[in-house]
Amino acid sequence: MKQIPRTPMRIPKTPRAQPPASVAENRRDVCEKAQDPVNVFCRVRPLQSDADLTSLRVKNATTICLNPQDQLMQHHKPLPGAQREIQYIFKHVFQSDATQREVFAAVAQPLVENLIRGRNSLLFTYGVTGSGKTFTMTGNLRHRGIMPRCLDVLFRTISDYQAKKFVFKPDKLNGFEVLSEEDALLERQQEMNRRFAGGGRFGRKRKDSDPEIASQASVDPSPIAGLDEDNMYSVFVTYIEIYNNSVYDLLEVSGIQKTLQSKIIREDAKRHMFVHGVTEVEVKTVEEALEVFQMGQKRKRMGHTVLNAESSRSHSVFNIRLVQAPTDNQGENVIQDRQTITVSQLSLVDLAGSERSSRTKNTGVRLREAGNINNSLMTLRTCLEYLRENQQMCNAMGAAKKIPYRDSKITHMFKNYFDGEGQVSMIVCINPRIEDYDENMQVMKFAELTQEVQVARATPIITGLGLAPGRRRANKLFKIATNNLTELGISEAKELQVDLGLVYSLGPDFPSYQMNSPETEIKIQELMFYLEQRIEKRRQLRDSLKVKSDNFRQILMRMEQDNLQLRTEVASSKVVYKQERERSAALENKVRIHESSIDVLNNTLSKRERQIEELTYKLNEKENLLTQKEQEKEKQKKKFSSKLAVESDKKKREFEQKLREQRVKLQERMRIKDEKLRLVSNILQADDVPPSSLIRSQSSEDLLSDKNREGAFTARTETCVASTRMDIYATPRHGAIAANPRHRRSRSAGEKWLEHRSAKPIPLGTIMQPYLKNRKSVTKLTDLKELTGNGTTKYCLVSQEADTDGDVETKLYKGNVIPTCGGGAQVVFNDVECLKQKSPIHSPTRKRMSTGTLSALGGPSTVASVQDVAMRCNLGIEGHSSKKSKP
């Protein structure tokens, strides 16, 4: 394709590294091989509405013009200096009124001819979303596309020369093998059984929901000439799609799995790329092939976008593979040699449309699909661009670029078409609307790039077996003649035989001459020369036949001598064989005895092995349990260690905080005391203070409470008293939290005890057990709500220690829970119970308490010990009663 106008590309002349001699020779061979360019066709879609503006103009059958967008918006009035229209040249341009038959005849029919002649071909459609690619490739109910027309022409051509089903069988490695008539019959019988059992894959009836494809053409196409009538043919089809850069088989029998499994692309022995494990279905008619296509079409990914209601979200590839092989001497059966098989392939690719997310407004899954589609098309464009540059550098012998075929599945699959042999054609579908101007520009650039790529011309190698041409038709005519003679009553007709085997060719047929022209003498001379060559050829063949006969006779004589020698050896070998047979019979008896003993030992060994396995399994379970316990123990150890460290740090910080608070309190008390002493000294040292005022002030100081260290002083004069009171009452009060020690709850509410005891107490074992009605037991007092909440009025601290005699002594420190002004609570201990168990057998050396006695301890020492115990149990005591504890 040629773009006009176009700025010429300037390639800077930089020194290139010279490749090795072997690489240069290989590249020279590739460059010197016959090559054909990629055939690029263009098809313009009709406008959907008469009101739509078009962005292109078809100039003639090969040229199309693309108008700039600014001129279209200004009603084709170009401004001075504006960009001119761009012309693109294709091999052929199909206008909007072109029929499907015209497109097939110009594009696809030569590819079907290549398929019959054993050559590979590739045809793919390219364009933006909604430009008519699928319609061109598949068609609809009224207008058949390229794919059904290719199948129709192919089956019309080979209809009388098809092999029976399952004569050719795929070997799962992109090749085929020839089955015998018995094996093929068995395969056909198995398929018939599967269909009768309801397990047929493609034996279903057509439904209304199936894709609409015309089953018959309006005008029957004529068969293609040039078919080898001495070959047998079979057609296989595969249908795959490439979705999100993964290959899926649309004809795969999913079974239990509802989703298709992705496939891999491999390379066969002939360096052809194929999809490993793809389902190849043998078809015998067009209807059967279309039924297979419709089943795969229902699994194809389709989606709704803004630009197209049914947009293909994947690249689909429909492969038509033609397998042909020569027949035997009689022209009836296929020769059982897979080396004589010729496989050709026609790949019909419907590429997904390129689209911009700004126009389609795709999000989520649709956006991801569009990204993968655009990436694969960009990889295809990159590969073709590198391939074109490498072909242009063939003469320069520069360093070739590595073509990234593996970056995309679509390029990896068709790598052998561009690096190997075959014919490649492309149909560029264009939507002429002005809204698609930018996309059409990119499509035109890609088409221009593609047409400059050269592909090696396919030269299929068909093995010649030296069999007589036309043997199949001759055998058919011979059978017809034999049957006719038999019907006429000639019995000898059944015994007639015809030899259609190997023949020697004496040259081409005699040319036709007319002896009525002035050049008769010249024609006679040419005929004499031709006959002399033919006679010489016959003489050479006779001499060759004589030499071969003599050689064959000598070979027969040597074989006869060898045969006599072998007979003598066979006779002697029979005697030795009889002796060895008797000896082997005796050895067989011994072997049977040993085998029976070996079986017994094997059974015993298997039992022991099972026991070992069971014991090993149990041992492993025990080891696993021990390992789990060790891990759990180590985890608990780490957990408690970390918890202990945190608690110790917390207690340390609390102790330091309390110590700082106590220091602050003491300092404040000392300051208040110093202030009061200063005031008293000022009053005493005053000269005008009457004795009565001094006495009244002194008495006020005596009334100061020892507990709170606070009071009021009476001044000698009104001014002095006022100032003194202001100083005293302005001083903040410190010391214990203010509480009402006479606070008492109503007895009707009941007493609720909070019992503070250790986690694992030692059983008391005494006769008189402590009884606390309506109690709650805790092992650790960390939350203040346990004292203030739930109406708790009593507190009991249980302490167990061993005395000097080794007996367990249990002490119960009891107290009242009194709320404080700050919303907290304090415990005032007022009672201590001591429980001790004594043995009645041993007489105590000193006075002991009897079993189950209830002792009452009091005094300051008792209260001090209660404070020590409370401090050890993390319970802060704010005050205590000075009276004795009650029993």
Known binding residues for ATP: 127-134
Q: Phi and psi dihedrals of 196, rounded to 5?
A: -65, -30
Q: C-alpha distances in angstroms, 526 versus 54, 256, 270, 484, 520?
A: 66, 76, 46, 44, 10
∠ at Cα 24 (22, 25), nearest 5°? Answer: 65
Q: What is the CA radius of gyration of the chain?
A: 55
Q: What is the DSSP letter of 329?
A: T
Q: C-alpha distances in angstroms, 585 versus 588, 592, 593, 597, 599?
A: 5, 11, 13, 19, 21
- Structural tokens at position 125: 């459609």
Residue 330 backbone zone (phi > 0: left; psi -120 to 50: alpha; other: beta):
alpha
- Structural tokens at position 335: 């020769």
Q: Which helix (H) or strand (E) holds 692?
A: helix 691-702
Tell me how crowded residue 503 is: count the other CB atoms within 10 A of its CB: 12
Tell me the torsion sign for CA atoms 738, 741, 742, 743. Answer: positive
Q: Which helix (H) or strand (E) holds 299?
A: helix 286-299
Bind-site residues: 127-134
- Residue 550 CA to residue 342 CA, distance in Å, equals 37
Give 389-444 as a 3 state SS string: HHHHCCCCCCCCCCCCHHHCHHHHHCHHHHHCECEEEEEEEECCEHHHHHHHHHHH
Tell me the torsion sign for CA atoms 541, 545, 546, 551. Answer: positive
- Residue 545 CA to residue 554 CA, distance in Å, equals 14
Tell me the torsion sign for CA atoms 198, 201, 202, 207. Answer: positive
Q: Are 683 and 715 in contact (CB under 8 A)?
A: yes
Q: Which residues pair with 92 in a beta bridge?
A: 41
Tell me the torsion sign for CA atoms 162, 164, 167, 169. Answer: positive
Local structure of 337: helix, strand or coil: coil
Q: C-alpha distances in angstroms, 622 versus 452, 618, 629, 783?
A: 75, 6, 10, 43
- Structural tokens at position 36: 């054909």
∠ at Cα 432 (90, 149), nearest 5°? Answer: 60
Q: What is the DSSP letter of 364?
A: T
- Residue 677 CA to residue 682 CA, distance in Å, equals 8
Q: Which residues pair with 478 in a beta bridge?
A: none
- Residue 598 CA to residue 603 CA, distance in Å, equals 9
- Residue 874 CA to residue 869 CA, distance in Å, equals 9
**Number of Cα atoms under 13 Å in the Cβ half of residue 547:** 6
- Residue 875 CA to residue 784 CA, distance in Å, equals 10
- Residue 723 CA to residue 198 CA, distance in Å, equals 115
Q: Which residues pair with 834 in a beta bridge?
A: 811
Q: Is 150 exposed, middle or buried (0-12, 13-18, 19+ CB in 10 A)?
A: buried
Task: Choose among 466, 471, 421: nearest CA to 118.
Answer: 421
Q: Which helix (H) or strand (E) holds 387?
A: helix 365-392
Q: Phi and psi dihedrals of 431, rounded to 5?
A: -100, 110
* Residue tagged 């063939």 (tokens): 394
Q: Which helix (H) or strand (E) holds 24?
A: helix 21-32
